[in-house]
Copies of this chain bind each other. A is one copy, B any other.
């Protein structure tokens, strides 16, 4: 009896850990290629930098950027370059219509359309370490889907996309008021 009870507890523990990884990020997951960046623990609870909406032929996403305390301080003060230790996270969700919200809104706003987040598509990180990542503007990049990092080919594209924001230390996002 004791052995059976112990197994049940073990299974329950695994379930809790998996749930935590999915919702808030863990520090012990696989590292992204090239830069070696892992998912920072607890990033989903970091302060919000901004939100945006991206539509391409393939995707329709609502997005949010979060910053660790170092990032938020510099965003608020408008300082560039960001200091070593800065981490910026970008969570991307599918954008889906909310029938519930549309019913609520229809009285006040006939024809109103509300879109909410669906599932998480991917999450990206920028980590500042001016020595370690000197070749890429001081930033290490990472892209994760379901907790697994993308491949090396994907990670080779990161820095080029951020080059146009060189005068803002390669950070595309502006702090939302």
Interface, chain A (partner B; CB < 8 A):
22-23, 44-45, 47-48, 50-58, 62-64, 66, 72, 76, 93, 95, 98, 100-101, 103-105, 108-117, 119-120, 157, 161-162, 164-165, 172, 174, 176-177
6 shortest A-B CB distances, which residue pairs?
Answer: A56-B109, A53-B115, A56-B112, A117-B176, A52-B116, A55-B113
A58 nearest in chain B by CB position: B109
Inter-chain contact B53/A66, CB cutoff 8 Å: no
Inter-chain contact B55/A62, CB cutoff 8 Å: no
- Tell me the bound Cα distance from A105 to B55 in angstroms: 10
CB distance from A77 to the nearest CB of B (A): 11
CB distance from A79 to the nearest CB of B (A): 15
Q: Can you list 12 pairs linking A and B with CB atoms under 8 Å apart?
A: A50-B117, A52-B116, A54-B112, A55-B113, A56-B109, A56-B111, A57-B109, A100-B164, A101-B172, A104-B162, A119-B177, A120-B177
Q: A53-B115, A57-B109 are in contact. List 9 more A-B contacts (CB 8 A).
A: A22-B177, A23-B76, A51-B64, A56-B109, A56-B113, A57-B112, A103-B164, A104-B162, A104-B164
Contact of A114 among B52, B111, B115, B165 (CB under 8 A): B52
Inter-chain contact B104/A161, CB cutoff 8 Å: yes
Inter-chain contact A62/B66, CB cutoff 8 Å: no
